[in-house]
């Protein structure tokens, strides 16, 4: 249900605690004793693991309270802050700081830390290292982590926009899409409408035109959204929203009628004086599709369904063919359909970008509990990876390999990257890009961000070895402090990512 890549090349994976027992035992005879749990009061199985990409192994972790439909973000030091959930977890903050497995680090929980219940809320890391936590079911406000005073309401701020944009049928505009803009303001999209928020002054600066067609895009309609790559040479922020389900889809699915998902994507240049949505048609209608920015700056749309909506048993006709969208191409050349998987990935699945350029995909459970038999779409607890075309062996001659990069970066300061490539073409087909590891759940990758850096020169060190001088991101508004994957992209073929930290 939830995945977060960590800077030690491990992936935090967790699910809700009230599905029942898992097949993974907690270590050292530990058990969860929870009188408030709706299914198991005593549970000695794990509902969270750290997955090691290199070894393909897992280490079980202990989650005490229910994490169902929660949210998360990484602090600048790489600590995962995970907020909210259901039942006894709705006001809990949980943290996990990566460590060597032998050290046995685990979740640390802070009960009643949040000022309001945060179930289906969204998170965004801010330039000053705080995390803003927005919305949730019947919560029309936002708060911050950390805050002044444990459990206090002195940093709880009302946001009527969330009240106005809810779907009156379900009171749902859940998991709103949040994007930090290069001027430090926050773009918030809920169902069909969007605003620009100055969260420091609790002031809505601007309301954007509604996305055309008047069909909602947030849970349970569950489209997805990205902030397209920010190029330091020409900062022009643009939001993209794709897919979702028509306004009546949830109610009709509850009565057994599954209607076609939305086929459109909208792009909005938010810095224009009079911004307007530019609409495009996807090759496949899709609800619950994850949008992941690839190292090339293209966007993959993967997982989801063609019919129905998010929710238990409400999706049909799984979309097993991902598409890749190329933002800089001409209109008719932007979408490409990829090879299909044989595994439906519906409700409660997720996807993230790995440092080697693959997409890690996991889960799928459109049922109230685990259900593996006698159903159309059984619970799927597997992981698989999708390899984009740039990983094909035919591109080996032009694929760069990073030898060294500045591990600790300072804003607007130069650093050097050394890389190998067999057939170097020209710096005109080369770029250096930084990508944040995102927290993905319910078709939205929170904190996802790519920054294309400014290069000053490329020189040949020896044979197939090259040095490129680069300027780090200019401000924390463009690249909030923390860990990033740095990629060298040459002839539209990326290297594996190298971890860098900017502060």
Tokens of residue 121, six digits: 């809320």
* Token representation of residue 140: 């029309």
pLDDT score for 92: 97
Residue count (the chain): 503
Residue 421, both tokens:
């490539």
Q: Please, is 457 exposed, middle or buried when counting C-beta atoms within 10 Å of its C-beta (0-12, 13-18, 19+)? A: exposed
Are 228 and 278 within 8 A, CB to CB?
no
What residue ranges of the chain have pLDDT lower than 70? 148-154, 167-171
CA 419 to chain centre: 29
Beta bridge partners of 363: 349
Please report the pLDDT score of residue 305 as a whole number.
Answer: 98
Helices (H), 430-479: none
- Residue 374 has φ and ψ, to the nearest 5°, of 60, 30
End-to-end CA distance of the chain: 31
**What is the value of pTM for the model shown?**
0.96
Q: CB–CB of 327/297 below 8 Å?
A: yes
The answer to whether the beta carbons of residues 442 and 244 sit under 8 Å apart is: no
pLDDT at 428: 84
**Residue the block writes with tokens 């530019």:** 278
**pLDDT at position 166:** 83
pLDDT of residue 363: 95
Sheet-wide strand order for 177-180: 177-180, 186-190, 193-198, 203-208
HEC readout, 262-293: CCEEEEEECCCCCCCCEEEECCCCCECCEEEE
Domains observed in the chain: 394-502 (2.60.40.10)
CA angle at 72 for the pair 367 and 21, rounded to the nearest 5° = 35
Q: pLDDT for 325-368, tens place per residue?
A: 999 988 878 999 999 999 999 999 999 999 999 999 999 999 98
pLDDT of the residue at 352? 98
Structure tokens belonging to residue 363: 């889960």
Q: How far apart are CA 383 and CA 496, in angstroms?
A: 20
In the block, which residue shows the tokens 């708060």? 143
Residue 424: predicted pLDDT: 86
Pairing of strands 359-363, 383-386: antiparallel
Q: What is the predicted pLDDT for the residue at 38?
A: 81
Backbone angles phi, psi at 393, to 5 degrees: -65, -25
The answer to whether the peptide bond before residue 146 is cis (omega within 30 degrees of 0) is yes
Instruction: Say what the pLDDT of residue 425 is.
Output: 84
Tell whether omega for the bond before 220 is within 30 degrees of 0, i.e. cis: yes
């Amino acid at each position: 249900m939830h995945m977060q890549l960590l800077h030690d090349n491990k992936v935090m994976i967790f699910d809700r605690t009230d599905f029942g027992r898992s097949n993974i035992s907690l270590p050292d005879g530990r058990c969860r004793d929870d009188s408030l749990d709706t299914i198991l009061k005593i549970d000695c199985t794990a509902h969270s693991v750290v997955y090691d990409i290199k070894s393909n192994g897992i280490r079980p972790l202990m989650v005490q309270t229910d994490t169902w439909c929660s949210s998360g973000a990484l602090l600048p030091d790489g600590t995962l802050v995970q907020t909210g959930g259901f039942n006894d977890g709705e006001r809990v903050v949980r943290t996990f700081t990566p460590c060597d497995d032998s050290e046995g680090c685990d979740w640390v929980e802070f009960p009643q830390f949040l000022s309001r219940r945060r179930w289906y809320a969204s998170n965004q890391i801010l330039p000053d290292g705080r995390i803003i936590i927005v919305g949730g079911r019947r919560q029309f406000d936002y708060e911050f982590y950390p805050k002044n005073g444990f459990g206090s309401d002195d940093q709880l701020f009302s946001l009527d926009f969330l009240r106005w944009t809810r779907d009156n049928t379900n009171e749902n505009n859940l998991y709103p899409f949040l994007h930090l803009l290069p001027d430090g303001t926050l773009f918030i999209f809920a169902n069909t409408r969007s605003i620009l928020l100055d969260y420091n002054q609790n002031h809505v600066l601007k309301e954007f035109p509604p996305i055309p067609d008047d069909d909602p895009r947030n849970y349970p309609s569950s489209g997805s959204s990205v902030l397209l790559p920010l190029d330091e040479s020409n900062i022009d922020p643009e939001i993209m929203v794709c897919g979702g389900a028509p306004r009546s889809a949830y109610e009709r699915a509850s009565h057994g009628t599954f209607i076609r998902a939305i086929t459109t994507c909208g792009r909005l240049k938010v810095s224009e004086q009079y911004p307007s949505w530019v609409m495009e048609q996807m090759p496949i209608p899709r609800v619950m599709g994850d949008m992941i920015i690839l190292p090339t700056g293209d966007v993959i749309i993967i997982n989801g369904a063609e019919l129905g909506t998010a929710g238990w048993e409400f999706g049909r006709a799984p979309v097993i063919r991902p598409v890749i969208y190329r933002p800089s191409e001409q209109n008719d050349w932007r979408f490409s359909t990829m090879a299909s998987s044989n595994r439906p990935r519906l409700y409660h699945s997720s996807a993230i970008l790995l440092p080697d350029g693959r997409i890690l995909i996991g889960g799928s459970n459109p049922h109230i509990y685990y259900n593996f038999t006698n159903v159309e779409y059984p619970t799927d607890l597997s992981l698989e990876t999708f390899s984009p075309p740039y990983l094909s062996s035919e591109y080996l001659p032009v694929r760069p390999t990073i030898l060294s990069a500045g591990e600790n970066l300072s804003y607007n300061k130069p650093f050097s990257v050394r890389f190998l490539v067999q057939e170097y073409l020209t710096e005109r087909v080369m770029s250096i890009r930084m990508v944040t590891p995102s927290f993905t759940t319910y078709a939205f990758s929170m904190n996802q961000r790519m920054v294309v850096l400014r290069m000053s020169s490329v020189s040949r060190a020896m044979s197939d070895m090259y040095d490129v001088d680069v300027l780090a991101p200019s401000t924390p508004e463009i690249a909030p402090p923390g860990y990033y994957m740095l990629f060298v992209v040459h002839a539209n073929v990326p290297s594996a990512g190298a971890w860098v930290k900017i502060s």
